[in-house]
Amino acid sequence: MPATVIVGAQWGDEGKGKIVDLLAQNSDVVCRYQGGPNAGHTIVVGEETYKIRALPSGIVRGKPCVIGNGCVVDLEVLIAELDELGDRGEVYLSGNAHLIMPWHVAIDQASERRLGKLAIGTTKRGIGPCYADKAMRLGIRVQDILDPKILRQKIEVALAEKNLWLERVYETAPFDLETVAAQYESYAQRLRPYVADTSLYVDKALRDGKEVLLEGAQATLLDLDHGTYPFVTSSNPVAASAATGVGIGPRRIDRVIGVAKAYVTRVGEGPFPSEIEGPDQERMRELGHEYGTVTGRERRCGWLDLVALRYAVRVNGIDQLALTKLDVLSHFAELPVCVRYRTPDGSETPDFPAHQSDFHAAAPVYQVLPGWSEPLDGCASLEELPEAARTYVELVERELGVEVTLLGTGAERSSVLTRA
């Protein structure tokens, strides 16, 4: 199975980093195909915790890592990560990836402020404004750092417009051309050696029969096209976009692994049908340590939503599921699982609503399963789970028609169960 996509199946933070780290052991190359430092992928190795935002999670295992053309890159964040982890493995940075410039961050912040109650709750890392400039054909790309003259020129052209917006529309401070140009020239010197034709590199790896992992950031329900728009990110995390995001053909992808928590969390605004009401919300947040990796915000917690997960299976073509954080559920006597949505006319549907207002109005229909109190860390395989936990996993498999092949039982790298 040479090319495997790892995709978030909910609203992000499913534990993709941990699953990529696990699969990286038997892989030769690990690529990120979209998103930027809005991502925070955690890998826990003994006493050490890595929170990775720009590099593919395979870097912790020392695997060659590719930042694909579909990503947006904040050079300051990337350099800090390279300083910390860069000597572990080779890093290849696509020349076609777009740069998150300081004005993207300023506009993201100012625009969220202006939206007030209507804010999306972004990570304020400049993601939306950067992808918007890419679509407007005004962006600055990684390859522009290869030529100091071009880089300066592009910064000058961009600033002429962005400073007007910042000052007149958003009433915030403009950027000084000389300061930005000098800063980016110094970033450029550091990063030039990493710039590569990553499409060619990945193609060659696949031709040589190597195992390539394609790591998604964010997740299906945050997808710009398929997520809960407008409360989404500005890229396409869905599996199909892995091909565009690294520059290979779609038929090169052999396997799609969806990563889902055994419950659901969401950071930022937007509808969330299975969001827990009452004290269990806080309890789950504490038990699961559900605070944003990037922003430290409280994550909203909900019961497992199989309607949303069924949708994720469909739009990604998921053929295996990694179900993480099952251990967190060990502390609940009863476990509601959302199996259908009830619509305002009283009917029930197993399918995710196609339209925004229908999704807003959807109410969860729960099947309540018994919990278990045994800790899961003594289990050696999926088959050894306590009976109630097995029933829980089997319900997921039956409802989705997809096998759970990996099961997370703790944050630590080794806390994963497979089938015996």
Query: What are the residue numbers of the active site?
Result: 13, 41
Per-residue x/- track, 296-335, ligand GDP (CB under 6 A)? ----------------------------xx-xx-------
Query: Could you tell me which stretch among 8-16, 120-128, 203-211, 269-277 binds ligand GDP (CB under 6 A)?
Result: 8-16
Task: Single out the residue of 198, 235, 274, 293 in contact with ligand GDP (rule: CB under 6 A).
Answer: 293
Q: Which residue is nearest to ligand IMO (CB)?
A: 268
Query: Could you tell me which stretch among 37-45, 114-122, 207-215, 298-306 binds Mg ion (CB under 5 A)?
Result: 37-45
Task: Single out the residue of 14, 21, 108, 144 in contact with ligand GDP (rule: CB under 6 A).
Answer: 14
DSSP-based three-state secondary structure for 200: helix
Measured CA distances, 4 to 54, 88, 203, 249 (Å) = 20, 22, 14, 13
Query: Could you tell me which stretch among 7-15, 110-118, 253-261, 372-380 binds ligand IMO (CB under 6 A)?
Result: 7-15
Going by C-beta distance under 8 Å and a sequence separation of 6 or more, which residues neighbour residue 189?
Answer: none
Per-residue x/- track, 259-298, ligand IMO (CB under 6 A)? --------xx------------------------x-----
Query: Could you tell me which stretch among 12-20, 174-182, 193-201, 311-319 binds Mg ion (CB under 5 A)?
Result: 12-20
Identify which of 77, 189, 70 has the alpha carbon closest to the alpha carbon of residue 130. Answer: 70
Shortest spacing between CB 57 and Mg ion, in angstroms: 11
Task: Single out the residue of 16, 61, 162, 226 in contact with ligand GDP (rule: CB under 6 A).
Answer: 16
Q: Cα separation of 261 and 258, whole Å?
A: 10
Residue 322 is encoded by which pair of tokens? 């990694």
Half-sphere exposure of 283 (CA within 13 A, CB side): 12
Burial class (CB in 10 A: 0-12, 13-18, 19+), 292: middle
Q: Cα separation of 364 and 310, whole Å?
A: 14
Q: Cα separation of 290 and 141, whole Å?
A: 34
Q: What angle (nearest 5°) sits at the alpha carbon of residue 99, between those of residues 98 and 102? A: 145
DSSP-based three-state secondary structure for 13: coil
If the CB atoms of residues 8 and 247 are measured against ligand IMO, the closer one turns out to be 8
Asked if residue 31 lies in contact with residue 200, where contact means CB atoms within 8 angstroms, the answer is: no
**Element (H or E) spanning 364, and its range?**
strand 363-370
Task: Single out the residue of 44, 120, 329, 337 in contact with ligand GDP (rule: CB under 6 A).
Answer: 44
226 binds ligand GDP (CB under 6 A): no
Question: What single-letter DSSP state applies at residue 339?
Answer: E
Picked from ligand IMO, ligand GDP, Mg ion, none, the partner binding residue 409 (CB below 5 to 8 A depending on kind) is ligand GDP
Task: Single out the residue of 3, 24, 29, 39 in contact with ligand IMO (rule: CB under 6 A).
Answer: 39
If the CB atoms of residues 27 and 293 are measured against Mg ion, the closer one turns out to be 293
Q: Cα separation of 220 and 239, whole Å?
A: 9
233 binds ligand IMO (CB under 6 A): yes
* Footprint on this chain of Mg ion (rule: CB under 5 A): 13, 40, 293
Site residues, ligand GDP (CB under 6 A):
8, 12-18, 40-42, 44, 289, 293, 324-325, 327-328, 408-411, 415
